[in-house]
A = this chain, B = another copy of it.
Amino acid sequence: MMLVNGREGLSVPVADRGFQYGDGCFTTLEVRDGAPLFLARHQARLSRDCARLQIPYDCADQVVSEARSLAEAGRDGVLKIIVTRGAGGRGYRCPDVPQASRILGFYPRPVYPSEWAASGVVVRVCRMRLGNNPALAGIKHMNRLEQVLARSEWSDAEIAEGLLLDAQGWVTEGVMSNVFMVRDGRLETPRLNRCGVAGVMRELVAELAGRMGIAVREGRCRLSRLREADEVFVTNSLIGIWPVRRLDDRAWPVGSLTRRLAEAVEQAKAGAVQEFLAAQP
């Protein structure tokens, strides 16, 4: 089911700048038992990303109520929320008073092998390098050709994710996830000030780690440093945490810190569902 500016529909105007230029941003969240998990966080990220793109995000209230209604109807699955700059403007120039469009779609949960969360996943290093642009870094915008082409590099169903380096060879993220490593009991994740998508689950994991007394550092990291890490895992809102058990030829057992954090994420999800159900009339 899909809502386009509040109406059921499956299409958008060709004139929408989201289609013409990828002029918008999006977020993807998990729905469990009718609860849109961490909706407030996803809402905050949409708001932040729209502000970075100078899109007036004045449909926030509608997004929340429509997200809740789609989640209630769908019960379990995935909710994708897109906000674009709407239609208009000649060429690249934005309209003087843009009217944002919102597109919310409910989808079935992607099916991943159940052992991936428990026993870890195989990751490869992509040939595609991310271009650096601080003006777009961190934003989950709709310009995602780099991810599309990176994901097209492999078809082996055993490989769960691809690791992306930037143009200078710095480890940045997975194609659809953020990446963390554990080193001497501390957590490290790439700084995303030149490229990459700052995921909602990345933020949550860092917060949970903080509450558990685990230091978290953002920084630059070479592939060689990642390979020397004690543990590596990837995160996104749908998968939570996947331990990385192999990166090309480097293998890891599932680490204890990764396991503790994965449990913390699952508890946070369960807590969010409980909180949601308790707030229902």
Contact = CB atoms under 8 A, between A and B. Distances in A.
Interface of A: 2, 4, 9-23, 53-54, 85, 90-94, 103, 105, 110, 128-133, 135-136, 141-152, 167, 175-176, 195
B92 A148 contact: yes
Contacts of A128: 135
Contact of A142 (B20, B141, B152): B20
B151 A94 contact: yes
A162 to B, nearest CB: 10
A216 to B, nearest CB: 27
A18 B19 contact: yes
Contacts of A176: 91-92
18 contacts: A4-B14, A11-B13, A11-B14, A12-B19, A20-B142, A21-B22, A21-B143, A23-B144, A23-B148, A53-B145, A54-B149, A91-B151, A92-B151, A93-B151, A94-B152, A128-B135, A131-B167, A142-B145
Given A12-B14, A18-B19, A53-B145, 4 more contacts: A11-B12, A12-B19, A129-B135, A136-B145
Task: Name the residue in A17, A135, A136, A175 with the highest tally of chain B Cβ atoms < 10 Å from its Cβ.
Answer: A135
A102 to B, nearest CB: 11
Contacts of A103: 14
Contacts of A2: 14
Nearest to A147: B92
B131 A110 contact: no
Contacts of A149: 53-54, 135-136
